[in-house]
Chain A
Amino acid sequence: MNFQELYKTYSKQVYNLALHYVQNIEEAEEITQDVFVSIHQSLESFQNKSTLSTWIYRITINKCLDFIKSKSRRNRIAFLTSLFSNNKQDVRFYLPNFDHPGVLMEQKEAIKKIFECINTLLPNQKTVLILSKIEKKNHQEVAEIMGLSIKAVESLLQRAKQNLANKLKQNEGS
């Protein structure tokens, strides 16, 4: 399979996964580009220890988490500098610009609130929720992508759902 065919086959998968992580079109496009550049550079070293799809999922997840970490760091610096300025605008560390094209208009506000809470979860809990509930992968597939046992995935998913429910309740209360 040449690179163009690979792109045609997997671009939708990569782009949508990036959208679920960052919920923003421009940022998802940037991540998608980085993922495919990375794939192009390391395709020769792909050792068939997993399927191509699983390998691409892992690259995408890592790129997304790196992007979010880097953006949080920049926002944190901006927040610290804002403490010393007169501008008291609240700077949030998680991603504020919600623009997910896969979300129906009538559900946008509700899903935006859910994602605001998902974005505060630990990376592996966020990943397991996205893969199971949005990407609709079964536990076996999630375990393969995340390099965990099926039991570990079930336990992680349970914790993620509980934490998310607690955060949503707290937000409703405030």
Chain B
Amino acid sequence: MDTEDSFLKLLETIQEVESPEFLFTRIHQKIESVRVNQISPRLAWGLAVSFCLLITINILILKSNEVVNHENNLIENLHISTDNDFYK
């Protein structure tokens, strides 16, 4: 127990020191940089919704192109005439 007491007594001799004066300036700068780099929740939601809308529109356009291509293929395979000429 003597060893325990002696090292505990040593720890109790550690003194309090003042924090450096320049720290507040650095903290203030850090807070400003965090604030500037932060995206507001409204902006983030707006970007997310716009992105989803864009993807949805693209998918719709691609699907409508698919339907047109499918119709064209059908016309070609069945040799359907798209004009009114009987003789070619």
Given contacts A12-B18, A33-B23, A161-B8, contact A168 B13 (CB under 8 A): no
Closest B residue, CB atoms, query A117: B7
Of B12, B24, B31, the residue contacting A134 (CB under 8 A) is B12
> Do residues B7 and A37 form an inter-chain contact, with CB atoms below 8 A?
no
Given contacts A12-B16, A19-B17, A165-B4, contact A37 B11 (CB under 8 A): no
Which residues of chain A are near B4, meaning CB under 8 Å? 161, 164-165
Of A55-63, A68-76, A77-85, A96-104, the stretch lying at the interface with chain B is A96-104
CA distance A15 to B31 in the complex (A): 18
Closest A residue, CB atoms, query B9: A133
> Do residues B23 and A104 form an inter-chain contact, with CB atoms below 8 A?
no
Chain A interface, number of residues (Cβ within 8 angstroms):
34
Q: Which residues of B contact A (CB under 8 A)?
A: 3-4, 7-8, 10-20, 23-24, 26-27, 30-31, 34
Closest B residue, CB atoms, query A19: B17
Q: Which residues of A contact B (CB under 8 A)?
A: 4, 7, 11-12, 14-16, 19-20, 29, 32-33, 36-37, 40-41, 100-104, 107, 110-111, 114, 129, 133-134, 136, 161, 164-165, 168-169
Given contacts A114-B7, A161-B8, A169-B3, contact A11 B24 (CB under 8 A): yes
Given contacts A11-B23, A12-B18, A36-B27, contact A165 B34 (CB under 8 A): no
Of A36, A40, A104, the residue contacting B15 (CB under 8 A) is A104
> Do residues B19 and A15 form an inter-chain contact, with CB atoms below 8 A?
yes
What is the minimal beta-carbon distance from A116 to any residue of chain B, in angstroms? 12
